[in-house]
Structure 1
Amino acid sequence: MTEKLKVAWCITGAGEKLTETYAIMKDIKNLYGDRVEINVFISKAGDQVVKYYGLYRDLETSFDRKWVEINANSPFLAGQVQLGKYDFVLVAPCTSNSTAKISLRIADTLITNAVIMAQKASVPVYIMPSDYSEGVVVTTLPNGKKLELKITREDVEHVKRISRMDDTEVFSDPHHIYKIFEKWTYPKEEK
């Protein structure tokens, strides 16, 4: 690979799997070094959550650039994605709110706008919804306490709908991010 792989990593307000995702993304940045450029885009709700989990400064120092949402078009991520500045968009983790908005085509936040515009421009999108399958999940809060959350059928219906969209891959395990980067950094053999 001669050019850098350019990735827009989007963080919404989901705390579920946030610290694990951060650790994996930091590891990927270390593994690939200057072969990848990872720019971090944080929603307004995500800004609160990354601060709550104590990751705000770490995101700033560990990745190439970091922006926080001002509105749906600022910073102008959707335009950058449509113009081909990024090879793909990664939304991890993705709240049930953002998942529902993407499913229903509501582009009123920085991240939902960028995802929908990426899909329209055939730019690959990878989404890790926090509410992937129906049932009860146990998440760990920043203070170490456990919290049980009920994932509803309605939440999962939005995930299923997104998984059928063109140029979009939905996954549940943060470790799948390694496979995404491998796919992009190790091209398949030509026949």
Structure 2
Amino acid sequence: MKIAWGITGAGEKLVETFETMKNIKKKYKDIDIRVFMSKAGEQVVKYYGIAEKLEENFGKIWVEINSNSPFLAGQIQLGKYDFLLLAPCTSNTVAKISLRIGDTLLTNAAIMAQKSGVPVYIMPTDFKEGKTLTTLPNGEKLELTITKHDVEHVRRIKKMNNTHVFKTPEEIYEIIRNWKNIGKGGKKNEKIDKKIN
């Protein structure tokens, strides 16, 4: 199994997602995880102090130069990856996918995956309208306001072909188990989608 893991500029659940992916790599020796970061993603992993840990655990990290470099979209179209995982995913990236704006490495890859029938798994940071607390790198809490527009974009991508939306890093284990047990996704992915209101 070969997975393209895309890291956007979201700090919310970033460290937890890293720990999850590290554990999956250790547990499943037959899974090849390649890490791709947006320009903002590169900044955020440094800010949260996990840049070196990513390289230690996953080897070479590919960082966005433009929407087609590195050529992730083309590799996905050619079936080089079983699926694309965007986790965590900023409201900006979600909105661009929703509006079909493929002007970044990861939005272009997601849109091309959808068009090519390659599954895309997205863990958005913004699910529910209203106030939410996020944890900063120094451990302090920051209150954010999630707008109805942010939530609407999540609802829109959830309805798109070959796209599965989930809420927590722990659900990635379920995604992996489903792929290993069923192969190429399967009906159990519907269970993941139903968790999002």
Q: Same fold (TM over 0.5)?
A: yes
CA deviation string 1:67-103 (max 9, x = no partner): 0101100000000000000000000000000000000
- Partner residue of 2:17 out of 4, 21, 24: 21
**Higher normalized contact order (CA 8 Å, seq sep 6+, divided by chain length):** 1
User: Following TM superposition, by how much is the alpha carbon of 1:65 offset from its aligned partner in structure 2, in angstroms?
Assistant: 3.4
> What residue identity is the alignment partner of 2:144?
L
Matched residue type, 1:23: E
Matches within 5 A, 1:1-191: 5-33=1-29, 35-187=30-182
Write out per-residue CA displacement over residues 16-59 of structure 1, whole angstroms, 9 at most, x where no aligned residue: 000010010101111102x0000000000000000000111111
Deviation at 1:134, TM superposition (A): 1.3
Distance 2:52 2:181 in 1: 31
Task: Give unpaired runs (5+ residues) of structure 1.
Answer: none
Residue identity matched to 2:114: Q
Residues 38, 65 of structure 1: 8 Å contact kept: no
Once residues 32 and 8 of structure 1 are traced to their aligned partners in structure 2, the CA distance between those partners, rounded to angstroms, is 15
Q: For residues 93-133 of structure 1, what are the alpha-carbon distances to aligned partners after superposition, in whole Å with 9 as ceiling and x for unaligned?
A: 00000000000000000000000000000000000001122
Identity of aligned residues (%): 64
Q: Structure 1: which 4+ aligned runs deviate by more than 2 Å?
A: none
Partner Cα distance (1:48, 1:117) in 2: 25
AA partner of residue 52 (structure 1): Y
User: How far off its partner does 1:64 sit?
Assistant: 4.5
Q: Distance in 2 between matches of 1:180 and 1:87?
A: 12
8 Å CA contact 1:107–1:113 kept in 2: the answer is: yes
Unmatched 5+ residue regions in structure 2? 184-197
Q: Give the paired residue count.
A: 183
* TM-score of the pair, normalised by structure 1: 0.94
Tell me how large the CA RMSD over aligned residues is: 0.9
Cα distance, 1:66 vs. partner?
1.4
Q: Distance in 2 between matches of 1:84 and 1:121?
A: 9
